[in-house]
Amino acid sequence: MADKRKRRRPADDSDSDSDADSKLPFKSKLKPDSAILQTLKTLKDSATASASSSATKPLTLSDLNLSTACREVTDLSLSSVQSSIESLILSFAHSILAGNGFSFSVPSRSSANQLYVPELDRIVLKDKTAVRPFANVSTVRKATITTRILQLIHQLCLKSIHVTKRDLFYTDVKLFQDQTQSDAVLDDVSCILGCTRSSLNVVAAEKGVVVGRLIFSDNGDMIDCTKMGMGGKAIPPNIDRVGDMQSDALFILLVEKDAAYMRLAEDRFYNRFPCIIVTAKGQPDVATRLFMRKMKTELKLPVIALVDSDPYGLKILSVYGCGSKNMSYDSANLTTPDIKWLGIRPSDLDKYKIPEQCRLPMTEQDIKTGKDLLEEDFVKKNPGWVEELSLMVKSKQKAEIQALSSFGFQYLTEVYLPLKLQQKDWL
């Protein structure tokens, strides 16, 4: 028998969508997209003009008359790396035959040997070195690892091939014991030879991804990053494969986390506001940092960052902008200058009324990291960073980008980012 009860008429979809939109905090403050796009065009024009004015002679470490001697590495060809290794080993052979044994003079990469240069807005390595003799019980193992790494790099030069850091570790697991040890010595070898790590033909596994308004060639194949789906295009581990960058984007959006990246990619945020979206899924790897710098240099686009509101989000941002202390010897090639901090900032928690249950209490380690960052010169240089970081430490609260999902899964792309861009709310 047919059900004769009166059924409630379903609400009209457009009405329900309208009601949902009206409940989104701050949605009513948004101007038409055309107004926001005009703001972004002005930002891009400013970045292009700034890049053009400094393009004639970019400031380098050698241009500065620093009281402290510093060192930097350069890109070397495979033949140059090979010659440098052979010359070094030949000098060791002469020393051994003279009865003096051999030792490495290794540039120190300790915190005490780092220097922040405000004029360059990046961290550089000072000139202090440490001796690593083979004939010493405390350094014999590390000297052996260093010699073995040099031998493996020499093989790569002869064969003209690339390997990953993991491949390198597995060539002599018994000696290296742990990959962190072979990785650390690999950086030492770069410093000893005076070349970038990419010059050694040793790369990290693919980690970073890019999506949006970018076309580039990868080893001769043209890649259109608007047609790479949600996952995007993996950033090539070897930056030498990348060329012919073309873009109609207005800015580069640097995202700390994969979850936020996926939201932006699925919502095709780059079509609404023409941009290139990049993430290294956490701590930035060398390939992503090289790719970011190449985009900034060649496309002359402003870079805007979206990171978590915690000390580690700011640390990640600073690694992209000022360099890491671990690889300060190569900061000239790995840093992207003038990155603007869009969010999530500590002041946003109250400004956007992030619910209390979505705010996380900072641990003692978080607070210590925040206080340590406040002592860093690259933070002190930016009063806005100091103010935000001080607020974070004082409130003892942190929040992830995903806290915005408490207002709706698409609040990040529909309201938060457009409003921040509209208001030019970056540091």
Indicate which residues carry an active-site annotation. 170
- Is the distance from CB of 410 to CB of 395 less than 8 angstroms? no
Rounded Cα–Cα distance for residues 420 and 423 (Å): 5
Rounded Cα–Cα distance for residues 260 and 271 (Å): 16
- Is the distance from CB of 198 to CB of 288 less than 8 angstroms? no
Which residue, 99, 122, 125, is CA-closest to 112? Answer: 125
Exposure of 13 by Cβ count < 10 A (0-12 exposed, 13-18 middle, 19+ buried)? exposed
Q: Is 256 annotated as a binding residue?
A: yes
Amino acid present at 49: A
- Quick one: tokens of 152? 């493996």
Q: Is 3 annotated as a binding residue?
A: no
- Quick one: tokens of 177? 């014991």
Rounded Cα–Cα distance for residues 413 and 403 (Å): 13
Rounded Cα–Cα distance for residues 136 and 101 (Å): 10
Which residues define the annotated binding site?
256, 308
Which residues define the annotated binding site for Mg(2+)?
256, 308
